[in-house]
Amino acid sequence: MTAFDEMRLGARARQPYEAYEDWFNQQDAGRLNEKSLDAERVFRRTGITFAVYGDTEAAERLIPFDIVPRIISGKEWRRLVQGIEQRVQALNAFLDDIYHRQEILRAGRIPKEIIAGNEAFLPEMIGVRPPGGVYTHIIGVDIVRTDENEFFVLEDNARTPSGVSYMLENRETMMQLFPELFQKIKVLPVENYPQLLRESLGAVRPKGCEGKPTVAVLTPGSFNSAYFEHAFLADQMGVELVEGQDLRVIDGRVAMRTTQGYKPIDVLYRRVDDDFLDPLTFRPDSALGVPGIMDVYRAGNIAIANAPGTGIADDKAIYSYMPEIVEFYTGRKAILQNVPTWRCAEADSLSYVLEHLEELVVKEVHGSGGYGMLVGPAASKKEREAFAQKLKARPANYIAQPTLSLSTCPILTDGGLAPRHVDLRPFVLVSDRIRIVPGGLTRVALKEGSLVVNSSQGGGTKDTWVLDD
């Protein structure tokens, strides 16, 4: 498959890259290589690492950073924003419906069993409406591009989407390394994200909150793979970073331990999974959550971002119904399309997938991070045969999609610029309104020919520029 090159159109640069190419052609290769090393030193000094579970040789790694930016025109971005806003509105409406009247099920637009039998659906949330009616406060929408005007949503991350700290650090690093570029090219800012996040979280405070709401970030602790991000965002927002052991329920409120005693919290940005949030409601062996927090939540005395039970909205089985979900709740066809998806729980689909494994990407319904998936064209016959047995044993645990020809952006190599496949995760904030910072996290498959961009699978990141045009 021939991939769409986002930088080049034949022998010339595409319009968004014209000014950058002019600048690049005037640069000395040695200077650019030195700048790449400078970037690595910045990230190492800042401590921007991520954990690789099960990797005993390198538990903490730097995510490789490429100094060639991914550039998107203002016109392209505005179209993406329209589609993202529509999708986010539909996701929130879907969650409210699923935990209340369940009209989409009554209408037969999606099957009841896909909800009832789903481990991400929380019966404890039935009849509970979060403060402000917002379920998905922070969403990361994974988008891939296949042509000039073809964008597809690959995944909706509606639980605890990560990666925004890398977006912010990538931009800060680029501005340090190449200040002259930002004078030459007008790029829309992303550095106000922490302020927007703080404002957005504050806007969904409980009804009984008077004055400025108290916000805190709940982390599982320093051994979590995204701990750097938890600490980074708390620091940037100017709020407390807390663990479950720092919190307790006092007089019907969740309060955090301080040097002046316990102080009530109004909004908790939690980076702890549902199962571990409240040992009295979910896993009794959890030491990461707060005993009784769900009672406080049901009483409307705390806002939790994202709301418990939002995982049903980013389940990959639900993803396959997103075109129907968007149309049902917005009354319009989806602006951003899904990737065609086969639900292996359906006999006909399973049969097709088994016969075409060498052409497809197969994913676990609840999987993430690039784990538990098969990229058919890149897999050996033995790997495909082994995966086929998994499919036959638990077909409902998998969905399959065609192998898309993801667009490419250049990375800097020893031989100059070379194309590599990319995706994009814009970050969306939802409260009294929808806020989307211009850009997001571009992940890049650094290995030539690879389609897997996840950092846990050897991918890297780029700064994403949206032009002010």
pLDDT, one tens digit per residue, over 65-110 is 999 999 999 999 999 999 999 999 999 999 999 999 999 999 999 9
Secondary structure class of 68 (helix, strand, coil): strand
Residue 248 has pLDDT above 50, yes or no: yes
Write out the two tokens for 153.
Answer: 């949503």
Residue 269's pLDDT band, with cuts at 50, 70 and 90, is: very high
Helix (H), strand (E) at residue 351: helix 347-355
* Interval 187-192 mean pLDDT: 97
Asked if the model's pLDDT at residue 57 lies above 80, the reply is no
pLDDT, mean of residues 29-54:
81
pLDDT at 157: 93
Q: Are 294 and 278 in contact, with CB atoms under 8 Å apart? A: yes
Residue-wise DSSP of 105-163: HHTTSS-THHHHT-TT--GGGTT---GGG-S-SEEEEEEEEEETTEEEEEEEE-SS---
Residue 52 has pLDDT above 90, yes or no: no
Distance CA 410, CA 131 (A): 44
Q: What is the pLDDT of residue 369?
A: 55
Give the pLDDT confidence score for residue 53 in this predicted structure.
46
Mean pLDDT of all residues belonging to the chain: 92
Higher per-residue pLDDT: 378 or 133: 133
Domains and CATH numbers, the chain: 8-206+302-337+405-466 (no CATH), 340-402 (3.30.1490.270)
Dig out the tokens for 60 from the structure: 């903490």
Question: Between 226 and 457, where is the model more confident?
Answer: 226
- CA–CA dist 93, 329 (Å, integer): 7
Report pLDDT for 368: 61
> In which band, very low, low, confident or very high, does the pLDDT at 58 lie, cut at 50, 70 and 90?
very low
Out of 103-112, 190-199, 308-317, 372-381, which region has the weakest mean confidence (pLDDT)? 372-381
